[in-house]
Structure 1
Amino acid sequence: MPGVVLPAHQYHLPLIKQQLVSKNQNKNSNENIPYIPPEIIRIILNLLKDDKKTLAACALVNHTFNLHVTPILYHSVSFSFSYPFTFISFANTIIDESQRSQLIRHLDLSSFSIIGLQKSKKSMATIENIATPNLIIQILRYCTMLESFSVSESLESAITFEVLQVLAFECKNIKTLDFCGLASKQFNSALTSLTEVMGYVKIFWYYENGIPTYSFQKVNYEALPHLKRLSLHECPIISETSIITLLAHSPNLTHLDLGGCSISDLTLNFLANETNIPQTLTHLLLAKCKNISSENIAALVAECKRLEVLNLYGDRDYATAINEYDLITILTSPSAKKFKNLDIGSSHITPNVLHTIQENCSALRHLGISKARIQSITYLVNFLKAIPNLEYIDLTGVQCMTPLNVASLINNLQKDHSLHIIEMSESLVNKLGSIDKWKTNKNYSRRWYFSKQTYRPDRVHSRKLDMAEYGPEGMSKIFQYYSFDR
């Protein structure tokens, strides 16, 4: 086998050489160990990238293992601020130590959340005193190869204008900025100041044939051409002008999460007509955006050429839900054949919409159609039979779903059908028993699932884009909260 050195047999050696080998057997015992190519070691250790404890143990095996493990350990750094002093230890380790700091690609400061955890003001004060803006700036300046920065509401007081300036203008390798749940006036003020320094997009309002309309003056230069992924998930206080300015300065985005932001059709119009983003975007999340219209959502998606993930899930009322005509526009858009993950929950979903999905979305794996207006289980059975590669479906609040109909749906699926997770309402799931290897899954309290026994559904279909590309299992607790909370 190439690359593996096996020890020679002693009877092939001259007698004197045999004696030398015998004398030095203890000294040269490593010669009897087969040589493993470093590429193989790297592949094996990379399989452990999500198991930090095991990696830390591997680093102590020998110098070779340490050499390969260290870059993996430092590639993605995150903290549990339940033990905030680990952050100080980390800062002391990398500041003035360029070799380690340059290994860091993803810095995740989002792992601690006060949401739902009833943390005391004293705990928060401790965190704020440790993770100060000045310390974060120092870390960012030493992490010259940083590609991804994530932060949540627990540290929003530390995300000042000065920190944002360093992220925008000094971190030249940054590809991902993920701000989750930042809803303070201070953060809004800091972001407003940043967009002023970048250069605002000017918006001109006027009347055309008695109809109020608007136009945009483009920015003189683009400050963030290197940025690929941007999330302002559940940041409702940010002004729409600031969001539009950030988008104007980020022409090469592939992932955009504006879920829960206070945007209107102005933002959608700007994206569709004034940026190159429809040509580059593969992931778009507009979940729970209440002030955007059905018509303008469809117009934006129709301009997008590469979308694979589209999430329009919302708590819209009947009057503001995406109507059937606009849904069909979305489902016949250039991206429709590329959709892998689609959530149109709370929209006007009819049998005609299901038929359009069936005809156009051949790559679909995850589908959300909560509150669909489907009266007969037959429509759903025939629909699922026509999409044998579908793995997940959200049927929460679908009118025809009853315990009897769930059993009928499962029994009518082909044995080789890929479906293994059905999301439903809590009241319905609690009435179900085991059906042909399917069972109720109660691992996660905020959403309810009926799934095949071998699958964990609680990380499958998130409602926050995974900006770091580590998969839901690698998401921090704050991101999991926002992803799976209804």
Structure 2
Amino acid sequence: MIRHLDLSGFSTCGLQKSSSSIQKVITPDLLIHILRSFPSLKAFSISDTLESVITLDVLKVLFLECKNINTIDFCGCSTKQFGIALEEFSGFIGRVKIIQQFDDNDEEMVTFNMNQKPLLSHVQRLSLHECPVISECSTIIPLLAHAPNLTHLDLGGCSVGDLTLTFLGVGTNAPTTLSHLLLAKCKNISSSAIASFVFKCSQLETLNLYGERDIATAIAECDLMTILCSPNAKNFQTLDIGSSQITPMILTAIKENCLSLKNLGISRAQISNISLIKDLLSVMTNLQYIDLTSIPCFNPLNTNNLFTTITKNNHPIQSIEMSESLLKKLCAIDGWKINFNYGKRWYYARETHDFFKPEMTHSRKLDITESGPECLSKIFQYYSFGV
């Protein structure tokens, strides 16, 4: 019995066929037939290698006929054709009327109106990871409106702004249902909007805000404090705030409020004293992974001392991501070896566990099927661990 239809790994490489001839083999009609042949299907995944077969008719069958599907992943679909198909579908199911007004104090007020009942209440997990072509107002917000019961949402790399988070907070059940949220590389969302929305989410366990942000778009210290002092912070299992304004005060807030963390990303933290990192690790005894990339306090002389302290204190951490430029100057120390993945992400990892793969520890993409890194297609592994 087929539960998960994963077409993300399909590739034309080696088939000695042109793209046009492949499209004659893998057609929208064939995909529709496949979807209708598996009534028990619960998850569907596809990537940019086959996005040309995603048409309005395919989306109608996928979203509206396959009522058992609760997980849909469109990772990397970025062509204009895909964006048009999804926009047509959102128009078919019914859009949200967005009214933006200003009060007497020139503060913006936004209201949302949708006359239709939600048609996608069965969809609980949705990934639009690295789908930048999708319109926020005419496509993404209508999809979210019709799928009010999401538990897993990946909008990493999408062209979304504050409006999307405002709608999620007032127009869906997201504040009480979301357990996994990824907003990595969403440069158009303001720091305050992220903090305001995350504070409302009572069930969050995974929060990924990793960014390649400049100073103007970084998540501010005060907004990080709002997130870290929220009631749900104690439930965090994975937290990545890399490239945010991470100061000593933020490290203190993590130590005091996020003791359940297993994965932590604090790359580019504004920390100049390595003892603050040591103090953090001494308290975070559940950590399995930490990202310490591009933190100014590390250099070839004091890094060895950090690992000596970790080994001496029997800390359970297994993998530490660090800067390539730093690790190229170092070597294996105190039972740790250097690993790297796709030549982009570099790690110190313990030598003791042959089955442990540090290059597949902390994902930049949300694994919404929770199948684990080994079961992901190569293209999903790349989006997850190679960038």
Instruction: Check conservation: 2:341, 2:385, Cα contact below 8 A.
Output: no
Aligned with 1:368 (options 265, 268, 272): 265
Deviation per CA, 1:88-139: give whole Å up to 9, x if none. xxxxxxxxxxxxxxx110000000358xx8x899443343222110000000
Q: Distance in 2 between matches of 1:373 and 1:349?
A: 6
SS of structure 2 residue aligned to 1:204: strand
Q: Distance in 1 between matches of 2:293 and 2:233?
A: 23
Residue matched to 2:199: 302
Q: Distance in 2 between matches of 1:348 and 1:220?
A: 42
Identify if the C-alpha distance between structure 1 residues 352 and 258 changes in structure 2 by more than 3 Å, giving closer, same or farther: same
Deviation per CA, 1:420-473: give whole Å up to 9, x if none. 111011111111111111011135422111111123111110011112221111
Once structures 1 and 2 are overlaid, which stretch shifts more, 429-438 or 288-297?
Answer: 429-438
Identify if the C-alpha distance between structure 1 residues 461 and 248 changes in structure 2 by more than 3 Å, giving closer, same or farther: same
Aligned with 1:434 (options 332, 335, 340): 332
Q: Distance in 1 between matches of 2:270 and 2:16?
A: 46
Residue matched to 2:113: 217
Aligned with 1:349 (options 246, 254, 257): 246
Instruction: Check conservation: 1:113, 1:477, Cα contact below 8 A.
Output: no
Residue matched to 1:378: 275
Higher gyration radius (CA): 1
SS of structure 1 residue aligned to 2:193: helix
Instruction: Check conservation: 1:272, 1:299, Cα contact below 8 A.
Output: no
Aligned with 1:196 (options 77, 91, 101): 91
Identity of aligned residues (%): 55
Aligned with 1:458 (options 352, 359, 377): 359
Q: Distance in 2 between matches of 1:466 and 1:113?
A: 20
Aligned with 1:239 (options 131, 135, 138): 135
Residue matched to 1:154: 49
Moved beyond 6 Å, runs of 4+: none
Deviation per CA, 1:36-57: give whole Å up to 9, x if none. xxxxxxxxxxxxxxxxxxxxxx
SS of structure 1 residue aligned to 2:81: helix
Deviation per CA, 1:262-309: give whole Å up to 9, x if none. 001000111112211110000000000010000000000000001000
Q: Tell me whether 1:327 sits opposite 2:224 in the alignment.
A: yes
Residue matched to 1:83: none
Identify if the C-alpha distance between structure 1 residues 444 and 485 changes in structure 2 by more than 3 Å, giving closer, same or farther: closer
Opposite residue 10 of structure 2, the aligned amino acid is F
Q: Distance in 2 between matches of 1:371 and 1:156?
A: 35
Once structures 1 and 2 are overlaid, which stretch shifts more, 368-377 or 333-342?
Answer: 333-342
Deviation per CA, 1:305-352: give whole Å up to 9, x if none. 010000000011011100111001001112201100100000000111
User: Under a length normalisation based on structure 2, what TM-score does the superposition of the two structures give?
Assistant: 0.95
Residue matched to 1:13: none
Residue matched to 1:479: 380
SS of structure 2 residue aligned to 1:403: coil
Instruction: Check conservation: 2:149, 2:172, Cα contact below 8 A.
Output: no
Unaligned 5+ runs, structure 1: 1-102
User: Under a length normalisation based on structure 1, what TM-score does the superposition of the two structures give?
Assistant: 0.76
After TM superposition, give the deviation of residue 219 of structure 1 in Å.
4.1
Q: Tell me whether 1:230 sits opposite 2:126 in the alignment.
A: yes
Instruction: Check conservation: 1:339, 1:363, Cα contact below 8 A.
Output: yes
Instruction: Check conservation: 2:341, 2:386, Cα contact below 8 A.
Output: no
